[in-house]
Chains A and B, each alone.
Chain A
Amino acid sequence: MNPDLANILEDYAIETRGLWRTFGKFEAVKGVSLRVPKGTVFGLLGVNGAGKSTVIKMIMGHLRPTRGEISILGRALGEDLIEIRKRVAYVSENRYLYEWMTVAESVRFTRGFHETWDDRKAADLLKRFSLPPDKKVRQLSRGNRARLCLLLALSFNPELIVLDEPTSGLDPIVRRDFIENIVAEIAEEGKTVLFSSHIVEEVERVADYVGIMDEGELLMVSTIDDIKVSYKRVRYATNGTRPEVAGVPGVVMVENGRHEQVLTVHGFGDETLHLLGERGVKNPEVLPISLEDIFVNKVRAERERRANQ
C-alpha cells in the first residue's frame, strides 16, 4: 500500500469509497463514500429503508459490495476480516443470540472467541445493566437483549463499535439511557462509534458527525456543530409576489406558505442576505435550525430533484 494512503487510512476508523450494492434490479446503496474519523461518534441518519443497515453490513463484511472499497482501522476489509473482527464489535439490529442459553452462558460462550476479553468489565456491565445471569435469553425483554448484546460487544475492548439501530424496539427510557449514557461513555473512552438510527433526536444528542442517507445515497456528512452554524432558516413575507431565489448559492430548500417563504440555506452569511436583497426579499428573519429540519429538508429536496429528473 502507498505510505501516504496508509497514513490517511490510519486517521479513519472506517473509510468507504464508492460503495454500491444491488439486490436484483433494486439499488439499495448507491456510491456511498464515507469517512469516520477515529475517536468520534458517527450517526448515520435515515428513514427506514434508506440503506443504512446495508451500508453497515457491508462495512462489517456480512454483505459483499457490488462495487466499491472498504477500509476498517487502516486495513482493507478483504485483506484480513478476522483481524478486523478482533478489533471491531458489531451489534446488529436483529440482536442475534442463542435463545436457549442463559445470560451467563452467553457471556461464557462469547468469551471463548475473544483473546482480549475482560472478565472484570463483563462483570461490571452485567451488574450495571442489572442482567439476571440465570435467565434464558428467550425470557429477556427487548431492552435486556439489547443490553446483553452491548455487554458482549464491549467486554472484549474493541476499538470500533458499530451499532445498527441500537434502540429499535426499546421504550423511551431505555432508549435514552442507551444513547445518552452508554454511547457517550464509550466515546469518552476514546473509542469510535458508528451507529445508525432513524430518530433524529438520538443522533443529535450524542453524535459528533452525522451522515444523512436516503434511498441508498449519502446526501450529506457534517459535524453537528457545523450544521448548526452553517445552516440557517430564512423567513420573510412575500406580499403577493414570490422572489426568485433559486439561483442564490446555498439554498437547499424553499417552502412556500400563503404569505411567506422559508428558505433553508447552507453556508449562510452576509453574502446570502445581500443576494436575497437583490432579489427583492425584504426584512428577512434568520432563524436557527434543528437537525430534524435539515434532515427533512435535505431528504425532501433530494426527492424533488430525483422526481424532476
Chain B
Amino acid sequence: MTNNILKAMLWKEWRETRWKWLAFAAAFHIPLVIAALVVAFRESARFDLYALSDPVAQQVFAFAVVFQSGFLITAGLFLLAFFAVGSIGAELDNQSMFFIFERPVKRWHVLLFKYAVGAVQTTTCVGVSILTTLTATYLVTAAFASNVSLAGSWDSFVLVASNALRGTVWAVVVSLMVYSATFLFSVWFEKWWIAVIAGAVSLVLMFIYLGSYLIDWVVSRAMRNSTNEGEGVNLELYSQLEFIPIFGMLLIATGLYFASQYIFARKEMR
C-alpha cells in the first residue's frame, strides 16, 4: 500500500467514522450517566455523596472501576459487537466496498487496514472508558463531597487508577477478541444485521460457558473482601496481569482475524 493509498483510506475512514467514534465513546459511559442521574434525582444518594470523606473516597473510586468493568464485560460487549459490525459489514452489505476492489490495491491490505482502524477505535473507547469513569468520579466527588478534596483523595485516586490501568489491559484484550469475532462475522455474512445477530449469539454462548468465571472475575472476587474483612472492594485482581489468559485471548483474536482474511480474499463481486 503506497502512501497515497494510505492517506486516501485514512481520510475515508475518518470521514466515515468520526461520529461513530463519538457515539461509541458516549455509549461506553452509560454507567456514568446513570450514576449522575441517580445522584441528581435521589436525595439519599446525594446524602451519601456529601457524607464521604477522604479516607473512604478510595472505596467509591474502586466501586466505580468495578461497576464500569462489569458493564463492559456484559452489556458493553453487546454494544461493542453492534459497533464492530459497522467497521466493514455496512460497506460489504451496500457493496460500496467494491469501489475499492476495483482499484489496484491488495485485498489483504484493505482488510488489515479496516481491522486495525476498527480495533483501535473499539479497544480505545473500551479501555479509556474505565479511566474516564474513574477520573469523572474523582472530580465529581471532590466537587460535591464537602469532606473530600482533590488533594486529599489524590493518593486514593492514584492507587485505584494504577490498578484500573491493569483492568484496562484486560478490558482491551477481551474487547479485541469480541471485536475480532464480530469482524469475522461481518466479513462472512452478506448482511450486516446477520453479523450483529451472530455476534450477539456468540456472546450469549460465551456467557453461558464462561459467564460464572467472568462475573467472579469482576464482581464476586472484587467484592469478597468487603464482607470478609470490611475493606470494601478488593482490587487485587485488577493488579494481576496473567500471561496465559491474555496471550490465549490475543491468539484467538489473531486466529479470528486470519479467518476473516481467508474469507475476504475469496469474496466474489456478484
In this assembly, does B46 line the interface, its C-beta being within 8 Å of a C-beta of chain A? Answer: no
A98 and B270 alpha carbons, distance in the complex (Å):
18
Among the listed A100, A101, A110, which residue makes an inter-chain contact with B103, where contact means beta carbons less than 8 Å apart? A110
- B230 interface residue (CB < 8 Å to A): no
Inter-subunit contact B103/A85 (CB<8 Å): yes
Q: Is A94 an interface residue (CB 8 A)?
A: yes
Among residues of B, the one whose C-beta sits closest to the C-beta of A58 is: B268
Q: Per-position contact with A for B98-111: 1 when CB-CB < 8 Å, else 0?
A: 11111111100000
Q: Given the complex of chains A and B, what is the CA–CA distance between A84 and B15 in angstroms?
A: 30
Given the contacts A63-B269, A82-B104, A86-B104, A96 and B95 also touching, CB distance less than 8 Å = yes
- B155 interface contact, C-beta 8 A: no
Known contacts A96-B95, A96-B98, A99-B96: does B103 contact A113 (CB below 8 Å)? Answer: yes
How many residues of B are in contact with the other chain, CB < 8 A? 25
Main secondary structure of the interface of A (DSSP, over half): loop
The answer to whether A114 and B269 touch (CB under 8 A), given A109-B11, A109-B12, is no
Residue A57 at the B interface, CB < 8 A? yes
Closest to A53 in B: B270
- Tell which of A82, A97, A101, A109 touches B105, judged by Cβ atoms closer than 8 Å: A82
Contact A98 B99 (CB under 8 A): yes
Q: Return the contact of A109 from the options B8, B101, B268 (Cβ within 8 A).
A: B8
CB 8 Å contact bits of A74-109 with B (1 = contact, 0 = none): 000000001101100010101011111100010011
Of the candidates B12, B99, B101, the one whose C-beta lies within 8 Å of that of A62 is B101
Specify which chain B residues have a CB less than 8 angstroms from the CB of A82 in the assembled complex: 104-106
Report A-chain residues with C-beta under 8 Å of the C-beta of B8: 108-113
Residue of A nearest to B16 (CB): A100
Judge whether A60 is part of the interface by a CB distance below 8 angstroms.
yes
Q: Does A64 have its Cβ within 8 Å of any Cβ on chain B?
A: yes
Task: Flag if B104 contacts A100 (CB, 8 Å).
Answer: no
Complex partner residue of A97 from B5, B11, B96, B270, CB under 8 angstroms: B96
> Which B residues are closer than 8 A to A by beta carbons?
2, 4-5, 7-9, 11-12, 15-16, 94-96, 98-106, 268-270
Residues of A within 8 A of B (CB): 57, 60, 62-64, 82-83, 85-86, 90, 92, 94, 96-101, 105, 108-115
Question: What would 17 A/B residue contacts be, using CB atoms closer than 8 Å?
Answer: A60-B102, A62-B101, A62-B269, A85-B102, A86-B104, A90-B102, A92-B98, A92-B269, A98-B96, A111-B4, A112-B5, A112-B7, A112-B8, A112-B9, A113-B103, A113-B104, A115-B4
Apart from A64-B268, A96-B99, what are 20 other A-B pairs with CB-CB below 8 Å? Answer: A57-B268, A57-B270, A62-B98, A62-B268, A62-B269, A63-B269, A63-B270, A94-B98, A96-B95, A96-B102, A98-B99, A100-B16, A108-B8, A111-B8, A112-B4, A112-B7, A113-B4, A113-B100, A114-B103, A114-B104
